[in-house]
Amino acid sequence: MKVLVTGAVGFIGSHTAERLKKMGHDVIGVDNFSPYYSEALKKLNEKALTEKGIKVLKLDLRSDDLSENLPKDIDFIFHFAAQPGISTASTFEDYFTNNIIATKNLIDYAMQLNDLKLFVNIGTSSIYGLEATFPEDYAPKPASHYGVTKLAAEQLVLQKSREKQMKSCSLRLYSVFGPRERPEKMYTKLIACGFNKASFPLYDGSSTHLRSFTYVDDIVDGVVSIMSFVDEVDGEILNLGTEVEHTTQEGIDAVAKVMDMDIAINHVSARAGDQLRTKANIDKARRLLNYNPQTTLLEGVEKQVAWYRENFI
The pLDDT tens digits of the residues spanning 273-305 come to 778 899 999 999 999 999 999 999 999 999 999
Kindly report, residue by residue over 96-111, the tens digit of the pLDDT: 999 999 999 999 999 9
pLDDT at 270 over 80: no
Number of neighbouring beta carbons within 10 Å of residue 47:
12
Of the candidates 85, 77, 68, the residue with the CA atom closest to the CA atom of residue 106: 77
Of the candidates 191, 168, 209, 173, the residue with the CA atom closest to the CA atom of residue 84: 173
- Indicate the Cα dihedral angle 71, 225, 9, 272, nearest 10°: 120
pLDDT at 38: 84
Cα separation, 228 vs 10, whole angstroms: 24
pLDDT at 88: 74
Under the banding of pLDDT at 50, 70 and 90, the label for residue 87 is confident
**Which residues touch 228 (CB under 8 Å, ≥6 apart)?**
none
Cα separation, 227 vs 140, whole angstroms: 26
Share the mean pLDDT of the chain. Answer: 95
Task: Note the helical H segments in the chain.
Answer: 11-22, 39-51, 66-69, 92-95, 102-110, 145-162, 186-196, 216-225, 230-233, 248-259, 283-289, 297-312
Of the candidates 182, 188, 204, the residue with the CA atom closest to the CA atom of residue 272: 204
Domain 2-173+216-242+280-293 in CATH 1.20.950.20: no
Please state the pTM of the whole predicted model.
Answer: 0.96
pLDDT at 97: 98
Q: Rounded mean pLDDT of 189-198?
A: 96
Cα separation, 222 vs 19, whole angstroms: 11
Buried residues in 95-128 as b, exposed as e (16+ CB within 10 A): bbbbbbbbbbbbbebbeebeebbbbbbbbbbbbb
pLDDT at 89 over 90: no
Task: Return the domain boundaries, the chain.
Answer: 2-173+216-242+280-293
CA angle 215, 19, 243 (to 5 degrees): 25
Q: How many residues does the chain have?
A: 313
